[in-house]
């Protein structure tokens, strides 16, 4: 088992700092972890700013090699990551192994991506000295890294959305040093990945401040990371409440910075009439599997289904048959389980909503919950559209496709919207897609949204409140654009241009 320090990694050294706390694992012994604050964030960010003067001008090949070395070092620690990850989160071993593969795949994908040049978006307008009435200067534009980036870990993906997850990979690929605020739900897992990055820094000779790691179980470190004057952008995945508070801090700075927050969604599924008439029960069974995957702790969890009333009973029967076979299982943290039960209880107490299943569980364990509501009552109660982070779903009974469209128009921003449809549903779908396209970053047909492919064309984001920047994604190679900005060089001597513009 890898040795743990419980320390922060700042400017190339493992250091103690702040108070301490103990982790709360599902199994095994807790670990003691130092909880950093403003002083540790300041030290890490100061080192990151110094590193940017070198790393921000490193070649794409140097950065690509660094990302690949991080992936190799993570793989070398695979056994320890799985052991600590399952103990801390309760996620099964197969899930942790798969997530480790995804994490390393993301790093290598970004390495390949920056070896190509498309993301640079280079634009050249040659000098026109004889143009009338005025000559045109030599103009060259390219995407350049922002500077040090702050990243927050996500509770539900202790690898792929955490220490070396997508935000960190994208920022490092862009040329931005990263200061990472560890998640208190999996501090041991986080430290092991930080050790892998530290080893990669040593192996590749990277500047020591290129990556910083500050453990914390308080708000102080997170607030300090957002407010630090050297922080140029923030990557965040988490709850709406926490993300909105940090977003407000970012906007309230003397110099506001981009805050790329992914805050969750209810990810509605619309079952269109021909599909529901032909296979409502089958769709209900498939939906139940997606709803309960990972104890419902996915930001793309499909928490709401909209279906015509005539076929709702068949859909619910299929869903109930599957959900009753799902046993309560540990949630990621005790706080997550408590919040889930509170959300389920609030829905169960709502007037005009029927409780079909309520196995919310006890302690850290949680089970599925299923509710039904008429479309008119859904649209009259804004509280029903709040995310329940866990395996709970609401089936909305609509009168007809027109009422489905009315529900669609009333949606807030989502990460995903899904259509379950047959060929005969095409005309109904054609009326819904223009509405749903404005509501979500990803539209699906005849699938379920849990499972986000890491690919060039993926968009994992959406209009507010699903995310704080609807033009961005936190998954896929387009994510690199969050941490770059366009710079135009006018009449610049060749020797002063960035390396990727020289010779152009």
Q: Which residues are annotated as catalytic?
A: 262, 299
Count of H-run helices and E-run strands, the chain: 14, 21
HSE-up of 331 (CA within 13 Å, CB side)? 25
Tell how far CA 469 is from the center of its chain.
13
Closest to 369 measured CA to CA, from 298, 276, 288: 288
Contact between 270 and 260 under an 8 Å Cβ cutoff? The reply is: no
**H, E, C per residue of 390-458:** CCEEEEEEECCHHHHHHHHHCCCCEEEEEEECCHHHHHHHHHHHHHHCCCEEEEEECCCCCCCCCCCCC
Instruction: Using the CB atoms, write b or e for 227-242: b if 16+ within 10 Å.
Output: bbebbbbbbbbbbbee
Residue 138 DSSP code: P
Rounded Cα distance between 250 and 438, Å, is 26
Rounded Cα distance between 260 and 108, Å, is 22
Rounded Cα distance between 254 and 256, Å, is 6
Tell how far CA 276 is from the center of its chain.
32
């Amino acid at each position: 088992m890898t040795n743990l320090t419980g320390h922060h990694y700042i400017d190339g050294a493992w250091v103690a700092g702040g108070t301490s706390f103990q982790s709360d694992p599902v199994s095994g012994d807790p670990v003691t972890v130092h909880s950093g604050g403003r002083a540790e964030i300041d030290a890490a960010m100061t080192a990151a700013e110094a590193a940017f003067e070198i790393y921000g001008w490193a070649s794409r090949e140097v950065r690509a090699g660094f990302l690949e070395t991080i992936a190799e070092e993570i793989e070398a620690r695979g056994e320890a990551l799985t052991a600590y990850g399952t103990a801390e989160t309760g996620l099964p071993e197969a899930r942790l192994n798969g997530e480790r593969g995804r994490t390393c795949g993301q790093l290598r994908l970004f390495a390949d991506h920056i070896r190509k040049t498309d993301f640079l978006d280079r634009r050249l307008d040659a000098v026109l000295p004889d143009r009338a009435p005025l000559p045109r200067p030599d103009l060259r534009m390219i995407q350049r890294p922002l500077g040090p980036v702050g990243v927050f870990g996500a509770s539900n993906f202790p690898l792929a959305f955490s220490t070396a997850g997508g935000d960190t990979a994208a920022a490092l690929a862009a040329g931005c040093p990263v200061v990472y605020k560890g998640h208190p739900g999996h501090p041991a897992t986080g430290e092991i990945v930080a050790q892998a990055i530290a080893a990669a820094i040593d192996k590749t000779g990277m500047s020591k401040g290129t990556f910083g790691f500050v453990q914390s179980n308080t708000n102080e470190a997170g607030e300090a990371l957002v407010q630090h004057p050297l922080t140029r952008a923030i990557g965040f995945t988490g709850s709406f409440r926490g993300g909105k508070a940090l977003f407000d801090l970012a906007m309230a700075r003397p110099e506001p910075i981009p805050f790329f927050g992914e805050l969750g969604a209810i990810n509605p599924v619309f079952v269109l009439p021909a599909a529901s008439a032909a296979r409502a029960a089958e769709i209900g069974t498939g939906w139940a599997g997606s709803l309960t995957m990972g104890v419902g702790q996915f930001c793309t969890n499909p928490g709401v289904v909209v279906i015509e009333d005539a076929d709702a009973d068949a859909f619910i029967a299929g869903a109930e048959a599957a959900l009753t076979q799902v046993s309560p299982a540990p949630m990621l943290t005790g706080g997550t389980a408590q919040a889930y039960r509170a959300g389920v209880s609030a829905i169960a107490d709502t007037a005009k909503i029927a409780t079909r299943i309520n196995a919310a569980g006890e302690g850290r364990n949680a089970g599925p919950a299923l509710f039904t509501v008429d479309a008119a009552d859904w649209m009259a109660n804004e509280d029903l559209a709040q995310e329940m982070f866990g395996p709970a779903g609401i089936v909305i009974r609509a009168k007809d496709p027109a009422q489905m469209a009315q529900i669609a128009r009333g949606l807030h921003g989502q990460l995903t919207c899904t259509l379950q449809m047959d060929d005969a549903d095409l005309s109904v779908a054609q009326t819904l897609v223009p509405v749903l396209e404005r509501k979500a970053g990803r539209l699906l047909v005849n699938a379920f949204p849990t499972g986000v492919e890491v690919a060039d064309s993926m968009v994992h984001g959406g209009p507010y409140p699903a995310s704080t920047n609807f033009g961005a994604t936190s998954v896929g190679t387009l994510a690199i654009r969050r941490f770059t900005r366009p710079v135009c060089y006018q009449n610049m001597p060749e020797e002063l241009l960035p390396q990727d513009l020289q010779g152009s």
